[in-house]
Amino acid sequence: MAVEGGMKCVKFLVFFFNFLFWLCGIALIVIGILVQIELNKTLIMSSPSASGAPIVIIVVGVVIFFVSFFGCCGASKENYCMVTTFAVLLTCIFLVEIAAAIAGYIFKDKVRAALQVGLEDAVKRYNNDSLVAHTMNDLQEKYSCCGANNFTDWFAIEPFKSNHSVPRSCCWANATMATCNVNPTAATINTQGCAQSIETWLKKHIVIVAAVALGIAFFELLGIIFACCLMKGIRSGYEVM
């Protein structure tokens, strides 16, 4: 009787964790899409390889969303094959997430380099592409920055080179002077480069992403353990209804 009660508890926990996985899957899909949109704006879509991380997040989210189906159906029907499939797929997802985290740490410098190249290219194309100009202005206003490395990047680009100026989007948010972007100083514009500002923003928010990922990984590990317990119970012929 105690064994039967224990297996009912395991069955309930499998249902509970599958619900959490379902929510995690939706959360990962949303996060991945938001990160992809932000990277596309930031990198001016000049480095598709830098978008690998959010694409992985979206794919993992979709897979988790559908894998939870096997867990729910397997637990409700006490189907050994479906519960086994759920446990195996969840284990694979867990390993992929660990591999992705390691790869992200190893290749973080490449993302920084891609960001740098994308911004430098945007500065060069500022006067030849209205979409790039609009995006660059948005970035400089959003991240309170100017240029790729610093505000002097604009002095090599016409027409800013001629009158020693920068785009008006470099001015302080509360600037009222109409010529704040002409002969700029730290008193009138944001002097820090956008590469550094965006990198600082990414480092600040990566902690949140890492914490969420760690929480999901913990629940996945518990899900694998409970699924294995349920598999053992079903295979041993316990009554779990």
Cβ atoms 68, 25 nearer than 8 A = yes
Higher pLDDT, 5 or 24: 24
Reported confidence tier of residue 38, pLDDT bands at 50, 70, 90: low
Which residues span the domain enclosing 42? 2-111+206-235
Q: Are residues 105 and 156 in the same domain?
A: no
Q: Are residues 101 and 215 in the same domain?
A: yes
Q: Is residue 200 part of a domain?
A: no
Question: What is the dihedral angle through the alpha carbons of 75, 81, 83, 85, rounded to the nearest 10 degrees?
Answer: -150
Q: Are residues 77 and 178 in the same domain?
A: no
Count CB atoms within 10 A of the CB of residue 82: 18
The span from the CA of 128 to the CA of 142, in Å, is 22
Q: Are residues 39 and 145 in the same domain?
A: no
How far CA 65 is from CA of 5, 9, 68, 107, 175, in Å, comes to 29, 23, 6, 27, 48
Average pLDDT over residues 1-30: 71
Q: Are residues 7 and 100 in the same domain?
A: yes
Higher pLDDT, 89 or 15: 89
Q: Are residues 191 and 211 in the same domain?
A: no
- The token duo for 193 is 């480069």
- The token duo for 77 is 């029907």
Q: Is residue 74 part of a domain?
A: yes
Reported confidence tier of residue 5, pLDDT bands at 50, 70, 90: low
Q: What is the pTM of this model?
A: 0.59
